[in-house]
Amino acid sequence: MVTLEKRMTTVGFRRWVSVLLGTSALLIAGCGRSSDEADPAEYLSGIVSIGVNTDLPGWSAYTNGIWDGFDIALGNWLGREIGFTPQYVSLKTDERMTRLTERSDIKLVIANFSITDERRKSIDFVGPYLTDSQGVMTLVGSPINARKDIENKTICVTHGSTNQQRLFDMKIEPSPENTLQRCVDRLRNHEGVDAISSDRVILDGFVAHDQKHDLRVVPNIRVGSERYGIGIRNNSPKLCEFLREKLAKFIDEEWDHIFRDKLPNASPEDRKPNSLDLNPCENPA
């Protein structure tokens, strides 16, 4: 016969094993759960705040109460495709990261936002939706025609851009401003600036919409590479996959005519990404 003491010991042991197995199951389930994200379609519903630039002709400009440009067209298309109303919010270049990492109402950033490994430590990207390289813009008649010509020159760039970081490795004097339009104003007014450096396609936008016809992109200067992505909050794999599918459709069906419309005379060569080869979405950190 089993004594009462032995029976109680056996019951206690079984309960201990049951608790242990239950705890292990919860831990395993927790490890397998990617995140506590909201449903992407619900997250992107109603009025959705999108961070954009405001002074880049052909990309995102706000003139007489109207938003226009390639990035704006992408935001508008996503709104129609998903079913939300875009609300565009002006961001300076160095605010694109902070508005996604702090508590704010910004849900997407579509602002010529270059995908980099350093940025991906703090936020997630969907893309690329355009590829490019860095270039230089000067006034018509400037003697700057090649990379060697910008050595020891003062080059205006925007705060917080990859262009600023890359130029620090060159023999030039970077002169940062909060906006690229301020760089253009300084160049035209001869305020201590010899040239402007930014992504070539952004510079092409300024030239394409230049009513004074006094700007030109130097054809023989190409530095590094840029890959534009849609910035979203960190650890958002469901949202990333949802937008990745939409972006592939945009590239296949809308990209060409929007590029021609918003950036007339700019070449699309080597700038349109492959919709079948977009970046994989990151797993939660």
Are the beta carbons of 135 and 203 closer than 8 angstroms?
yes
Single-letter amino acid, residue 11:
V
Range 256-266 average pLDDT: 94
Q: Count other C-beta atoms under 10 Å from residue 105's C-beta.
A: 11
For residue 163, what pLDDT is reported? Answer: 72
CA distances for 23 relative to 16, 18, 20, 26, 187, angstroms: 11, 9, 5, 5, 66
For residue 167, what pLDDT is reported? Answer: 64
pTM for the whole structure: 0.83
Give the CA angle between residues 157, 71, 176 to the nearest 5°: 10
Number of H helices, E strands in the chain: 9, 12
Check whether 39 has a pLDDT greater than 70: yes
Between CA 276 and CA 263 the distance in angstroms is 24
Q: Shortest CA distance to 4 belongs to which of 18, 19, 12, 17?
A: 12
pLDDT grade, residue 29 (50/70/90)? very low
Give the CA angle between residues 91, 226, 56 to the nearest 5°: 35
Check whether 164 has a pLDDT greater than 90: no
Q: Which CATH number fits domain 40-132+226-262: 3.20.20.120, 3.40.190.10, 1.20.120.1200, 3.90.660.10?
A: 3.40.190.10
pLDDT grade, residue 34 (50/70/90)? very low
| Domain at 133-224: CATH architecture | 3-Layer(aba) Sandwich (3.40)
Can you list the positions of beta strands (E) in 95-207?
106-109, 123-139, 154-158, 173-177, 195-199
Query: Range(s) for CATH 3.40.190.10 in the chain?
Result: 40-132+226-262, 133-224
Q: Shortest CA distance to 115 belongs to which of 237, 224, 251?
A: 224
> Tens of pLDDT along 200-241?
999 999 999 998 999 999 998 998 899 999 999 999 999 999
Q: Count other C-beta atoms under 10 Å from residue 219's C-beta.
A: 11
Prior bond of 128 cis (ω within 30°): yes
Average pLDDT, the chain: 87
Are the beta carbons of 167 and 157 closer than 8 angstroms?
yes
For residue 20, what pLDDT is reported? Answer: 38
> Tens of pLDDT along 176-208?
998 999 999 999 999 999 999 999 999 999 999
Tokens encoding 271: 């700038």
Between CA 161 and CA 165 the distance in angstroms is 7
Beta bridge partners of 52: 90
CA distances for 32 relative to 239, 252, 280, 284, angstroms: 18, 34, 19, 11
pLDDT grade, residue 165 (50/70/90)? low
For residue 168, what pLDDT is reported? Answer: 52
- Percent residues over pLDDT 70 in the chain: 86
Check whether 99 has a pLDDT greater than 80: yes
